[in-house]
Amino acid sequence: MNETINEDNVAVVDAPTAVITDAFGVAINKGDLIVFAVRKGSSQWLNKLRVTGVTASSVKGYDPEDTLQRAKTLRQMKTVVVLDRAVVNAIGDV
């Protein structure tokens, strides 16, 4: 934690930012594009999520392909993978 003095000579302590990682230990940050496994019956597929917020126990975001951009919250990080940032920058939100 960092302590700073504001203009009123009051000590202000910055709270530590939440760090949550994907299945491979890569930190998930706001703005990242992640994929996560979904299973319904015997069918399995990957969904995308653009991260809008990170807490100590969950990741919030929306599917960039969803026209309504409904909010989703993920709490299970075992099946989440951050896409390579260089690849995402090259291809965009596809």
Q: Tokens at residue 82, please? A: 């951050």
pLDDT band of residue 17 (cuts 50, 70, 90) is low
Q: List the one residue out of 44, 38, 15, 17 whose CA is nearest residue 29.
A: 17
Instruction: Tell me the fold of 2-91.
Output: SH3 type barrels. (2.30.30)
The reported pLDDT for the residue numbered 69 is: 85
- Judged against a pLDDT cut of 60, whether residue 29 lies above it is answered with yes
Query: How far is the C-alpha of 57 from the C-alpha of 73, rounded, in Å?
Result: 10
pTM of the model: 0.70
In the predicted model, what is the mean pLDDT of residues 48-69? 91
